[in-house]
Amino acid sequence: MKIACYDCGREFPVDSFPVRCGCGGLLTVHQTFHSVDAEKLKATFHERLQERGTSYASGVWRYKELICPDLPDSFIVTKYEGNTGLYAAQAARDYAGLRQVWLKAQSENPSGSFKDNGMTVAVSFGRFTGSTSFACSSTGNTSSSLAMYAAVAGCRSVVLVPEHDVSISKVLQTAAYGAEIIRFPGTYDDGIRFLEKRGAELGLYVCNSVNPFRIEGQKSIAFELAQDLSWSLPDWIVVPGGALSNVSALGKALRELKELGFIDKLPQVAVIQAEGASPFHRMVNSGLPELAPEPTPRTIASALNIGNPPSWRKALQVLQETQGITASVSDAEIMAAKAVIDRSGIGCEPASAAALAGLRKLVLAGTIHKEETAACILTGNMLKDTDALKGYLSSSTVQKERRIEA
Ligand SMILES: *Cc1c(COP(=O)(O)O)cnc(C)c1O
């Protein structure tokens, strides 16, 4: 394994790397997959589905050979994350107008979002390098996840959470796990800038998605999806895009699965942004070579409220390699798709519903064909944002609820 700058290629020691390279680039992990035999590993991954109570019972660490092969097992901090449901939901299929739609419910993770897939690896690796204080900037899900794993490891967590436009449910969850919460005026982007500058000198191990081990862990979402579907992926995988770490990890996972012979064909990737926070979609759509940050991001999907996504270069490579596309959806489209997912019994927070809303839009536009198949990654749990629920339920459904007289 090597850690190198994604932009200039400079290498860093595995046990002490900076948040970013001096050139401003993000770091990335280069795995050396010596003696990986895809068929043998498939059998191993299948056998591990029977594990209980060991780190291999986790839906992330099941794939340790492809994620963090050299980490001694004793450093693993796990809550048996992953192992989430894959649903062939009829309602989602009808809504998107597609032959087959799967919902991969990362919302079923222990802290309620896909951030757990990456965080278990970042915190485990941080412990391996001797860190005991962990930090992140967050719109609420990264902080909940970090606070949970730090608590499990008996370590300290410090989280920067914007004062505005963050779901109170997430802040309370983060606080309840015992994190030190710093609220600040500004956005996620300001928080991450602060940590990039000051994190190391404050002795904090930064667990935002600029940490390359978050990306390695998040690859497991694609691994699990592929394993669930007997190593044959749908035509499209659709993800909501905020900081763009999820799509970066998805793309890296697909690339590695293909190179190692686990899958024959790369699916196409679609990234869906919220209209009020869609700098990546705007860049791709207009063919501009550089991302122009959105100074005042604003969307009801608070997890997507990010104007300057750090991982945009990695995400762009994923689009290029998979003939991927982007779209943006309005808050109204997001909430309409969310209502469909909620009523199907699966449920999700607004940001997750952007994927289904975007899929429907792309099918209506003819960009994705009715005969193709797709999987939407549901990134966060329904109870992560009860305000959003109140917003659409209070006016209609809840009033229709009948009182039962005792
Ligand atoms: C973090 C998050 C996203 C965005 O993922 P990125 O990797 O930042 O693009 C989407 N939905 C939810 C629920 C999230 O927590």
Q: What count of residues does the chain have?
A: 406
Q: Report the predicted TM-score, pTM, of the whole model to 2 decimal places.
A: 0.96
Alpha helix segments (H runs only) across 154-208: 168-176, 188-198
User: pLDDT per residue over 325-376, tens digit each?
Assistant: 999 999 999 999 999 999 999 999 999 999 999 999 999 999 999 999 999 9
**Rounded distance, CA 315 to CA 216, Å?**
14
pLDDT at position 69, please? Answer: 94
CB count, 10 Å around CB of 169?
Answer: 20
pLDDT at position 35, please? Answer: 81
**Rounded distance, CA 354 to CA 336, Å?**
10
User: pLDDT per residue over 304-320, tens digit each?
Assistant: 999 999 999 999 999 99
pLDDT at position 166, please? Answer: 85
378 lines ligand 1 (CB under 6 A): no
pLDDT at position 400, please? Answer: 60
CB count, 10 Å around CB of 234?
Answer: 20
CA distance readout (Å), 32 to 58, 67, 125, 298: 23, 11, 17, 41
Rounded distance from Cα 43 to ligand 1 centre (Å): 31
Residue nearest to ligand 1 atom 2, measured at CA: 303
pLDDT grade, residue 164 (50/70/90)?
Answer: confident
92 lines ligand 1 (CB under 6 A): no
Q: Which residues pair with 5 in a beta bridge?
A: 27
User: pLDDT per residue over 172-210, tens digit each?
Assistant: 999 999 999 999 898 888 998 999 999 989 999 999 999
Q: Which residues pair with 329 in a beta bridge?
A: 274
The residue to mutate among 26, 250, 304, having the most atoms of ligand 1 within 8 angstroms of its beta carbon, is 304
pLDDT at position 393, please? Answer: 86
As a whole number, the mean pLDDT across the chain is 95
CA distance readout (Å), 62 to 23, 91, 113: 35, 31, 19
242 lines ligand 1 (CB under 6 A): yes
- Report the atom number in ligand 1 closest to the C-alpha of 241: 9
Rounded distance from Cα 44 to ligand 1 centre (Å): 30
pLDDT at position 73, please? Answer: 96
**Rounded distance, CA 14 to CA 152, Å?**
24
358 lines ligand 1 (CB under 6 A): no
Inform me whether the pLDDT recorded for 406 exceeds 70. no
b/e code 35-74 from CB counts within 10 Å (16+ = b): ebeeeebbeebeebeeeeeebbbbbbbbbbbbbbeebeee
3-state secondary structure of 97: coil
CA distance readout (Å), 182 to 186, 211, 296: 12, 20, 21
pLDDT above 70 covers a percentage of the chain that reads 97
Q: Which amino acid is it at 58?
A: S
- 86-112+214-392: CATH topology is Rossmann fold (3.40.50)
The residue to mutate among 103, 111, 113, having the most atoms of ligand 1 within 8 angstroms of its beta carbon, is 113
Sheet with 100-105: list strands edge to edge. 86-87, 100-105, 373-378, 236-240, 268-274, 325-329
**Rounded distance, CA 265 to CA 397, Å?**
44
Rounded distance from Cα 244 to ligand 1 centre (Å): 8
User: pLDDT per residue over 292-304, tens digit each?
Assistant: 999 999 999 999 9
241 lines ligand 1 (CB under 6 A): yes
pLDDT at position 178, please? Answer: 98
pLDDT grade, residue 139 (50/70/90)?
Answer: confident
User: pLDDT per residue over 118-129, tens digit each?
Assistant: 999 999 999 999
> What are the residue ranges spanned by the domains of the chain?
1-30, 86-112+214-392
The stretch 226-241 carries a mean pLDDT of: 98
Residue whose pair of structure tokens reads 């992140």 in the numeric block: 136
